[in-house]
Amino acid sequence: MSENTPLEKADLVRVFVKGGIISPGDFKKIIQTARSLGATYIHLGSRQDVLFPVKNKDIKVLDETFKSIQTNYDTDGESFQNIVSSFTALDVMPTTHWLASHIYHYVLDTFDYQPSLKINIVDPVQTLVPLFTGNINFIASNQDNYWYVFLRFSEISAKPWCAPELIFGYDLVHLAKALEALKPQEAGLGYEQVYQKARKSLKVNVQPVDQELNYPEATSPYYEGLNRVAGGKYWLGLYWRNNRFTIDFLEALCGLCVATNIGKLSLTPWKSLIVRGIAEKDRLSWEKLLGKYGINIRHSSLELNWHLPVLEEKALEIKNYLVRALDKQDISTYGLSFSVKVAPKMVLFTSIVIEQNIDSSDGGDNTFNIMYSKDFNPNLMEYSYFVKGVLLETLPALLIELSHVYYDQLDARKKEETTEPGRVPKLLNYKKYQCSSCLTIYNEEYGDTSAEIEPGTTFSKLPTDYSCPVCESPKSAFRLL
């Protein structure tokens, strides 16, 4: 299919990659099927699914392919949804102490059906996967394999509703099925009514919620490049500016995964791909692969931290214009993330949103609104307007002004945390993080004098190149205690 041929979402085949986890062998079968049906590239979706454009869908070929790899797919809209997980953040970001790889696999394996509601299974410590973009959001608690339940059945509603009890990991599927059976988006019931009705017939392991969820600080996720982790291995993050991953390159990538004993690939909601577990002896082979296909793994953070809907060329044009304009100003957007909203139904999970208004009444120019989340933290799910009805040309200057508001409020919050003039800022709850390699502890209260990290510095504010002072493992090797 020509890349210039206009595509609609109805032209896409959606492949549901449960939890965003897929083997190189299964991924290769998907992309080879896409090629056999005329596609030259694939897209990655914000719900960790794989999408490829096909004008003439051969259902027999699709059925045979996806049955062989026990993977579901959809060709006619959004009747079914993928299950999102934060597995992709393992080794890339700090994680909750008990939430290891095998826990994700065990929990995801219990989901033996394709849900019609959006389900998230997420670690709140990491910031790569948003917490509340699902209808049913299971968020890890501090208690081993017990999860908060947050419900949010409308994209328009603000904060999700939190259930009064924690659910054991292997019972999440039973609650999800019971909630789906009630068709809550049509039932017209309140969140508590829906939850209690679903729970009534279930025998599940629960514990009362004894503390509110501690929301992570809003930081821009870093998910690109070849990065060293504990144990001397590497993870590789791959991002394409136009979200078109060529099949030629992906086939070569899958082949190298098999040759270097990489068993899993993972997808992120930022439409990127992560390969973890690359050994030091194989690093040169991976660098050669990137060089052969001209893969850039050095995009700026300004380029990376954007969320765009799939196939929305207008949104991509707006983003490219804004990135170029802001880059010329040489400003910092560290800590901020952006999205372009050109459709009414779009789940927001960035700190700043550029929303397009289409004024068709007088044939005038398109105008835009700028929204930002409370405390610039998208997990709070509360957005306010910064400006309304402005022209595209004015957006860069306004975004720069809003970025100053962001950094000013960071300074204000830091001052509020100071108990007395000249004293070190005091937080209500300092946290401790432990290196998974040598068990060295980073205590936010004391900082790290050897690395010139001041006392009171939260873990999320440590530089991305921070390493363990004892064994030099990277920041991603630390786990929350």
User: pLDDT tens digits, residue range 373-394?
Assistant: 998 999 888 899 999 999 999 9
Give the pLDDT of residue 7.
55
Spatial separation of the C-alpha atoms in residues 24 and 400, rounded to whole Å: 42
- Give whole-number Cα distances, 464 to 27, 120, 217, in Å: 30, 26, 15
Pairwise pLDDT comparison (361 vs 114), residue with the higher score? 114
User: pLDDT tens digits, residue range 201-223?
Assistant: 899 999 999 888 987 776 778 89
Q: Please provide the CATH number assigned to the domain covering 303-416.
A: 3.30.413
User: pLDDT tens digits, residue range 290-343?
Assistant: 999 999 998 888 888 898 887 788 898 999 999 999 988 877 787 899 999 987
Which of 19-23, 97-101, 170-174, 230-234 has the weakest average pLDDT? 230-234
Spatial separation of the C-alpha atoms in residues 119 and 123, rounded to whole Å: 13
The closest alpha carbon to 139, from 112, 114, 160, 115, belongs to: 160
| CATH class of segment(s) 93-208 | alpha beta
The closest alpha carbon to 167, from 191, 187, 141, 185, belongs to: 141
**237 phi and psi angles, rounded to 5 deg:** -105, 130
Spatial separation of the C-alpha atoms in residues 238 and 235, rounded to whole Å: 10
Looking at the chain, the number of H-run helices and the number of E-run strands are: 11, 26
User: pLDDT tens digits, residue range 219-257?
Assistant: 778 899 999 887 889 999 999 988 899 999 999 999 999
The closest alpha carbon to 433, from 449, 445, 425, 417, belongs to: 445
Q: What percentage of the chain reaches a pLDDT higher than 90? A: 52
What mean pLDDT is reported for the chain? 86
Q: Is 455 helix (H, G, I), strand (E, B) or coil?
A: coil
**370 phi and psi angles, rounded to 5 deg:** -120, 125
Q: Is 45 helix (H, G, I), strand (E, B) or coil?
A: coil
Spatial separation of the C-alpha atoms in residues 369 and 56, rounded to whole Å: 38
432-480 CATH pick, 3.40.50.1820, 2.20.28.10, 3.30.870.10, 2.40.110.10: 2.20.28.10
Give the pLDDT of residue 362.
45
User: pLDDT tens digits, residue range 114-139?
Assistant: 999 999 999 999 999 999 999 999 99
Give the pLDDT of residue 303.
87
**Are 14 and 49 within 8 A, CB to CB?**
yes
**Are 97 and 131 within 8 A, CB to CB?**
no
13: how many CB neighbours lie within 10 A of its CB?
21
Fold agreement between 93-208 and 303-416: yes
When pLDDT is averaged across residues 174-179 and rounded to a whole number, the result is: 96
Q: Where are the domains of the chain?
A: 93-208, 303-416, 432-480
The closest alpha carbon to 87, from 70, 99, 74, belongs to: 99
- The separation between the first and the last C-alpha atoms of the chain, rounded to the nearest angstrom, is 51
Spatial separation of the C-alpha atoms in residues 9 and 270, rounded to whole Å: 19
pTM: 0.84
**Are 305 and 337 within 8 A, CB to CB?**
yes
What is the distance, to the nearest Å, from the Cα of residue 243 to the centroid of all Cα atoms in its chain? 15
Give the pLDDT of residue 455.
83
**Are 382 and 222 within 8 A, CB to CB?**
no
481: CB partners within 8 A, 6+ apart? 97, 431, 432, 433, 434, 441
Give the pLDDT of residue 415.
58
Spatial separation of the C-alpha atoms in residues 446 and 363, rounded to whole Å: 60
